[in-house]
Every structure is written in structure tokens, then in C-alpha cells.
Amino acid sequence: MIDYTQGSNKQYHTQLSESDVGEYVILTGDPGRVKDIASYLDNAELVANNREYVTYTGYLNGVLCSVISTGIGGPSTAIAIEELVQLGCHTFLRVGTCGGMYLEVQGGDIVIASGAIRQDGTTREYAPLEFPAVPHYDVLSAQVHSAKTLHLSYHVGVVQSKDSFFGQHAPESMPVCSELENKWDAYCKLDCLASEMESSTVFIVSQTRHVRSGAMFLCLANQEREKTGLTNVQNHDLHPLMQCAVSTIKELITNDKAENH
């Protein structure tokens, strides 16, 4: 592969070097959320800011960890993971927002993905569509345990990963309206919990590169509850989700240390 960095020893898109990041990484879409998540780390510092990729690095349980933004959607998320794996990162936790689909998922609830519908384009360049997009069991288990310990309202199940935000929210405006609506209806009948835009990519790229990953989300609201006349509160408070994510990484660090001794 061409060295587009011209020997800088930094990854081209993220502008990171090996000494900039820890082996455990929290991924979030919005660059504006990175500093907030990093505030839960000890001695966190900004180490890079390039394109959509803002990176802070600090310590959890005495272990170097990083928080990086990926932008929206699969392509930029895949690039981030690929470059971070090149730097030695081995555990990734996606933290973001979603829209509920299953009627029991309400605004403010945490959704933990046990699998993702691959309605995206990026993962088709990694694995055949028959191959499932699923998290690593270690990460999934730590997420569930952390949510229980923090007494959060949470759900575990399949989520939809798509490429078009407006394909979800304004399907009637699309030339492929019937296809979008038919698939959405099918996913709802299959008890899909929520819709978001990155987890399938996180799972498939991680599986391809033989590293661990998981994904968890704050449900902002649920359009299916709105359709049926149920209460549909909006909630944009990300701090419980951030606390759960940090708790998850701490548990993984503790478990990994125990296994390696």
C-alpha cells in the first residue's frame, strides 16, 4: 500500500502514531462528544485532531485508553478502526445514539447491540452478506454487566445499521420508498430494537482484523411509539451511556489482567 504519510510514522486519516493511543478505544461519531467521554479518563489529553477524527488519550485502571470520533456512517468508521488496529489497538466500544423501533425501547433507554442488520455499503467490501455482524462475547458480556451494575434501563438485541438517515425518517421521499418501508416493517416484526448507522461496520471490520468490539447506544426517541399513539419522550442525556461505556472498558481491563496472570 502507498505510504501517503510520506514517512511521517502517523496514520494518514487519524494522524495518530503508536504512542498516541491505548489498546482499548471508545469510538463515538460526534467529535464534540470526545472531550466529554474523555473526562471520565484520568489525565486525558488531546493527541490528534484531523478531519472528523478527534482523539483524546488517558488512563482507566492505570491502563492507557483512547476516545476517538469517527464521523457519521460506515466508511469513516472503518477507516478509524483500520488505522487504530495498525497501531496495536485490540478492543473497540462504539458509543452513540439511536432511534427506537421495538415498542418497549423508550427515549433514555440504553440499547446494547447483540447483532446488526447489515443495511450498509461498507461491510460488503469486507465479508459476504451471509456473514453476521456480531460483537465479541467478552465486550457484550461486560456491557450487560455494567448496565446492570449501574441500574440503567437497557435492552439487548439486534439493531439496524443503515447508510441513510433520511431513508429512515423520510422514506416516502425516496424513489425506493417501497423497498425501504417493506424492510423496515420486516425488521419491526422481527423485534429489531433500534436503528443507527455504524455498528455493523464496527463488528465486521473488527472480525476481519481479529480484534474485539461492541456497541451501545442512547435511544433518543422511538418513531414506532409515536405511530401507535404511545408516549414518546425524547432524551439527549448521554452521561449514563458514557458512564456505562467507561465501566465496560474498566471491566474488560480487569478481566484481561486476570486472564493474563
For the chain, give the secondary structure using H, E and C: CCCCCCCCCCCCCCCCCHHHCCCEEEEECCHHHHHHHHCCCEEEEEEEEECCEEEEEEEECCEEEEEEECCCCHHHHHHHHHHHHHCCCCEEEEEEEEEECCCCCCCCCEEEEEEEEEECCHHHHCCCCCCCECCCHHHHHHHHHHHHHCCCCEEEEEEEEECCHHHHHCHHHCCCHHHHHHHHHHHHHCCCCEEECCHHHHHHHHHHCCCEEEEEEEEEEEHHHHHCCCCCCCCCCCHHHHHHHHHHHHHHHHHHHHHCC
Each of the 261 residues of the chain gets a pLDDT tens digit; together they read: 777 777 788 999 999 999 999 999 999 999 999 999 999 999 999 999 999 999 999 999 999 999 999 999 999 999 999 999 999 999 999 999 999 999 999 999 999 999 999 999 999 999 999 999 999 999 999 999 999 999 999 999 999 999 999 989 999 999 999 999 999 999 999 999 999 999 999 999 999 999 999 999 999 999 999 999 999 999 999 999 999 999 999 999 999 999 987
Confidence at residue 1, expressed as pLDDT on a 0 to 100 scale:
75
Pairing verdict, β 110-119 and 154-162: parallel
Tally of CB atoms within 10 A around 181: 14
Confidence at residue 81, expressed as pLDDT on a 0 to 100 scale:
98
Confidence at residue 2, expressed as pLDDT on a 0 to 100 scale:
77
CB 162 within 8 A of CB 168: yes
- C-alpha 25/C-alpha 12 separation (Å) is 18
Q: pTM of the entire structure? A: 0.97
